[in-house]
A and B are shown apart, each in its own frame.
Chain A
Amino acid sequence: MSMSTYIVTVTAIDCVGIVHSVTGTLRDHGGNILELSQTVMRDYFTIILAVEFPEPRNTRTLSAAIIANGAKFDLNVEVIAAGTPTHVAVVENGERFILTVLGVDRPGNIHGISECLMRNGVNIVDLHARSDGEKFSLVMEAFLPQALSPGVVRQALEQFGRGLGLESYVQHENIFLATTEPSPVRVGPPPPRQGAAVAPY
């Protein structure tokens, strides 16, 4: 059976019951949720879902149904047909790093940071940033190409942040797994070299 997958995004002023309403509509139309991410940002509810259906659906009809079922929430809904997953990593053999930028808030911070990353072939997969008064903080997960040293990325970010009051950190995610999870410490595979281990002398 061929399945059709759609990406559904819904935003609204946050209140109790939105997830229940949206997922109920999708269920009633035969949808199965593959993945879901939801957050509330500054009192605004945002959800994005990947949903598969046994047969193709009309995106406008689906969108209208979600809006109608959740009329009391005044939902903004977008439904698009998802392309066929390629299952090819955007950054081949990339490693997941956590990038943190802290400092003074100003327009253009995230644009400048993302430009540094784009130039180095770094793919952002998760990002959270906020300004709190004059303070700016950004934490993101990103894949660095294997050949790219984290020091190079940090240098590029520091160069951008110099004079703007921003400090940057680029750290492999294992350091955060080690300090927050009780499971055994994980170490990434050593980078390939000629001649592996040190032979006994």
Chain B
Amino acid sequence: MHRTEDVLSTLGMVRQHKLDVRTVTMGIDLQPCGSPDLKTLCDGIRARIVHYAGRLAEVCREVEARYGIPIVNRRIAVSPIAHVAAAHTAEGYVAVARTLDAVAAEIEVDLVGGFSALVQKGWTQGDRRLISVLPEVLSTTKRVCASVNVGTTAAGINMDAILAIGHVLKDTAERTRDHDGFGCAKLVIFANAPNDNPFMAGAFHGVGEPDCVINIGVSGPGVVKAAVEDLVRHDPNVTLGDIAEEIKSTAFRVTRVGELIGREVASRLGVAFGIVDLSLAPTPQAGDSVGEILQAMGVLRLGAPGSTAALALLNDAVKKGGSFASSSVGGLSGAFVAVSEDLALAEAVERGDLTLAKLEAMTAVCSVGLDMIAVPGDTDAETLAALIADEAAIGVINHKTTASRLIPVPGKGPGERAVFGGLFGEMVILPIHAAGGSTAFVRHGGRIPAPLSSLRN
């Protein structure tokens, strides 16, 4: 007999603390679809996705009913389209994006990621074409998500690509002006991008992956927060070491839920199981926030001194608990500080406690980076590029993934509210200190060389 307490405890994670599987993401290799004929390429992409993912929605519903664990999103990550469509013109890339958008709707998938290019060391004609059509794709498709990897620890940082992306963000925001520049929320700029990330908008099916794979993104901010709150309530004098232990054991349970769901979905579909991404992914709902975990730990004003240390403790404890739970851990695996998607973080920004500089510092100790941050609409492309470069540098130097998802909100300035809706949330626009002060640096272009791997102090 299972202990009643264990059953109620596990059930309580779902009932009261919003534990769910945030995403079941199927990675599909599209390289075999490559063809110089555009119709053949698009038809091949559709057929291959339907072949592997045609039953994904149905199977997710079966597994959801079997275990009583909500599966919030079903997503597809495909091979970087810059490679798959390399033989085609810019119009061809747009056609591929529309194909992905249509097939995602056809098979009841929420989002499809992989309209991506990997340009850390240099960029091909195909990469340039893909980046050039991003504004059109992001403003005219519903489900297509894009990403560009602009740097790695091994290759350095491609500043030419970053400047181009600064302009892409401006153009995309303008094209989606009616929705506060929402198109930019579907574009992630990475350094050290993982090949198996299940979370959007940055998921793509990278090199070294099998034909088809199931990756899982769990979500447990509410569960972790509840565990920390309970611990502190019962003994206000607990040490931070005690709190770390509590987070570890909670992360263990959350990860196990993810692995079970992932293995079951993969088994039923007859495809490989890949990884569980441990990332704590917030939603704009109260009680489902990474920021609230830090508050439960005693950082009542997010952004105050101590916020970075608390986040580091949280991130590390989650990884330790998750790594003990499963040998199949991957993706981003950390704590997201996606500002507009996290109620407590968004409120801290509104109060003026949490600044862009502090957020940047916090991203040095967690995943992913400057995520879902609304900035003034009149921010110039070079300043956006410089922000991205700063974040990429943190990742490249520290051998970790970082990313930027910046939204310049057209027609709005600091202190005004940007509303993206749904899981993307809303926030007050953050000012950029000394904007425009690094234009000459960014315009130098070229590549920031790869960092030294010795002399590490």
CB distance from A135 to the nearest CB of B (A): 12
Q: Once the chains bind, are A198 and B52 in contact (CB under 8 Å)?
A: yes
Can you list, as one digit per residue, whether each of A105-141 has a CB less than 8 Å from chain B (1) or not (0)? 0000000000000000000001010000000010101
Given contacts A126-B1, A198-B270, contact A175 B69 (CB under 8 A): yes
Which residues in chain A, 168-191, are within 8 Å of chain B measured between CB atoms? 169-176, 178-180, 182, 185, 187-188, 190-191
Given contacts A128-B1, A137-B8, contact A175 B268 (CB under 8 A): no
Contact partner, A175, options B4, B15, B32, B257, Cβ 8 Å: B257
Measured CA separation A170–B7 after assembly (Å): 11
Residue A98, interface by CB 8 Å: yes
Measured CA separation A42–B177 after assembly (Å): 66
Q: Once the chains bind, are B212 and A169 in contact (CB under 8 Å)?
A: no
Q: Once the chains bind, are A196 and B270 in contact (CB under 8 Å)?
A: yes
CB distance from B222 to the nearest CB of A (A): 15
Residue A200, interface by CB 8 Å: yes
Chain A contacts of B253 at CB under 8 A?
A: 179-180
How many residue pairs between the two chains, A and B, have CB atoms under 8 Å in the bound complex? 95
Q: Once the chains bind, are B8 and A179 in contact (CB under 8 Å)?
A: no
Residue B271, interface by CB 8 Å: yes
Chain A contacts of B306 at CB under 8 A?
A: none
Measured CA separation A200–B29 after assembly (Å): 11
Q: Once the chains bind, are B67 and A174 in contact (CB under 8 Å)?
A: yes
Contact partner, A169, options B4, B68, B326, Cβ 8 Å: B68
Contact partner, A187, options B4, B65, B264, Cβ 8 Å: B264
Residue A165, interface by CB 8 Å: no
Residue B6, interface by CB 8 Å: yes
Chain B contacts of A171 at CB under 8 A?
A: 11, 66-69
Q: Once the chains bind, are A139 and B8 in contact (CB under 8 Å)?
A: yes
CB distance from B19 to the nearest CB of A (A): 10
**Interface majority SS (helix, strand, loop, mixed), chain A:** mixed
Measured CA separation A200–B31 after assembly (Å): 13
Q: Once the chains bind, are B211 and A175 in contact (CB under 8 Å)?
A: no
Q: Once the chains bind, are B1 and A188 in contact (CB under 8 Å)?
A: no
Q: Once the chains bind, are B256 and A185 in contact (CB under 8 Å)?
A: yes
Given contacts A141-B2, A170-B68, contact A179 B257 (CB under 8 A): yes
Q: Once the chains bind, are B264 and A188 in contact (CB under 8 Å)?
A: yes
Measured CA separation A43–B263 after assembly (Å): 44
Residue A16, interface by CB 8 Å: no
Chain A contacts of B124 at CB under 8 A?
A: none
Measured CA separation A191–B47 after assembly (Å): 25
Q: How many residues of B contact A (CB 8 A)?
A: 38
Q: Once the chains bind, are B66 and A150 in contact (CB under 8 Å)?
A: yes
Q: How many residues of A contact B (CB 8 A)?
A: 33
Closest to A96 in B: B2
CB distance from B13 to the nearest CB of A (A): 8
Q: Once the chains bind, are B267 and A187 in contact (CB under 8 Å)?
A: yes
Which residues in chain B, 259-301, are within 8 Å of chain A measured between CB atoms? 259-260, 263-264, 267-271
Q: Once the chains bind, are B65 and A190 in contact (CB under 8 Å)?
A: no
Chain A contacts of B326 at CB under 8 A?
A: 185
Q: Once the chains bind, are B2 and A187 in contact (CB under 8 Å)?
A: no
Can you list, as one digit per residue, whether each of B308-327 has a CB less than 8 Å from chain A (1) or not (0)? 00000000000000001010
Contact partner, B65, options A100, A128, A150, A180, Cβ 8 Å: A150
Residue A30, interface by CB 8 Å: no
Measured CA separation A177–B333 after assembly (Å): 23
CB distance from B213 to the nearest CB of A (A): 12
Residue B438, interface by CB 8 Å: no
Chain B contacts of A182 at CB under 8 A?
A: 324
Can you list, as one digit per residue, whether each of B38-54 has a CB less than 8 Å from chain A (1) or not (0)? 00000000011001100
Can you list, as one digit per residue, whether each of B1-44 has a CB less than 8 Å from chain A (1) or not (0)? 11110111011010100000000000000001000000000000
Q: Once the chains bind, are A176 and B7 in contact (CB under 8 Å)?
A: yes
Q: Once the chains bind, are A176 and B10 in contact (CB under 8 Å)?
A: yes
Closest to B4 in A: A139
Q: Once the chains bind, are A180 and B8 in contact (CB under 8 Å)?
A: no
Contact partner, B6, options A126, A154, A180, Cβ 8 Å: A180
Q: Once the chains bind, are A179 and B10 in contact (CB under 8 Å)?
A: yes
Chain B contacts of A1 at CB under 8 A?
A: none
Chain B contacts to A: CB under 8 angstroms: 1-4, 6-8, 10-11, 13, 15, 32, 47-48, 51-52, 62, 65-69, 211-212, 253, 256-257, 259-260, 263-264, 267-271, 324, 326
Chain A contacts to B: CB under 8 angstroms: 98, 100, 126, 128, 137, 139, 141, 149-151, 154, 169-176, 178-180, 182, 185, 187-188, 190-191, 196-198, 200-201
Top 3 A-B pairs, shortest CB-CB distance: A197-B270, A171-B68, A151-B65
Please name 4 further chain A to chain B contacts, defined as beta carbons within 8 Å, in addition to the given A100-B7, A139-B4, A173-B2, sorted by A numbering: A137-B8, A175-B67, A179-B6, A198-B212
